[in-house]
Amino acid sequence: MEQYIQISKLNDFVFCPRSVYLHSIYENFNQKTYHRVSQTAGKIKHENIEQGKYSTAKRYMQGIPVYSDKYNLMGKIDIYDQKKKTLIERKNKVKKIYDGYRYQLYAQYFCLQEMDHQVKKIFIHSLSDNKRYPVKLPDKKETCEFENIVKKIKNFDILNYPIMKNNNKCANCIYKPLCH
């Protein structure tokens, strides 16, 4: 049986494929050991979703587990508005809609679809400035790109992957001490 991929790993993989492997090294450590201030702040802001405290309205599904047998993905959604058929992924501070954000949202979208929940709109929500950014639903081209990322993760081999030389990404990577 093929192992499931955590939806959150899609964003990590797009940031840097090595980070998914390096994350597995840190998984058993206390997060205070390796999280940066921005990650800790994001985790704290995300607790309302984890505890189902975003809203008491029954129309909102919050922090529920989702899965896809088709893509072998599993994870949790932040918010699904059953009335508006809207999926919302919350991030601490959004400066730009990165591909990793989109693929993470697409994964949640495909999971919900497979679980018989209709999704008409998807958004990234920036908690720091309370801005919501629409993301178009994946078309055929974007679905193909998404499937290629999933395939790359499934076939990733750390021994055959060179160290990234992107100074901007590396400077902001919590795994830098293990990587270089």
- Please tell me the predicted confidence (pLDDT) of residue 110: 98
Q: For residue 14, what are the contacts with CB-CB under 8 A and spacing of at least 6?
A: 98, 99, 100, 103, 149
d(CA 155, CA 145): 15
The number of domains in the chain is 1
- Residues whose CB is less than 8 angstroms from the CB of residue 129 and which lie 6 or more positions away in sequence, other chains included: 93
- Do 80 and 64 meet the contact criterion of CB atoms below 8 Å apart? yes
From CA 152, how far away is CA 146, in angstroms rounded? 10
Q: Report the pLDDT value the prediction gives residue 144, as an integer from 0 to 100.
A: 98
Residues 50-66: tens digit of each pLDDT? 655 566 678 999 989 99
The segment with the largest mean pLDDT, out of 28-32, 59-63, 130-134, is 130-134
pTM greater than 0.85: no
Output the pLDDT for position 159.
78
Q: What is the pLDDT of residue 57?
A: 75
Tell me the pairing of strands 121-126 and 73-76.
unpaired
Q: State the average pLDDT for the chain.
A: 84
Encoding tokens for residue 84? 């508006």
Query: What CATH number did the domain enclosing 94 receive?
Result: 3.90.320.10
| pLDDT of res. 15 | 85
Is residue 92 very low, low, confident or very high in pLDDT (cuts 50, 70, 90)? confident
Domain that holds residue 105: 5-179
Nearest to 49 by CA among 38, 39, 64: 64
**Residue where the block lists tokens 């985790």:** 43
Question: What pLDDT shows up at residue 73?
Answer: 97
The conformation of residue 153, written as its DSSP 8-state character, comes to H
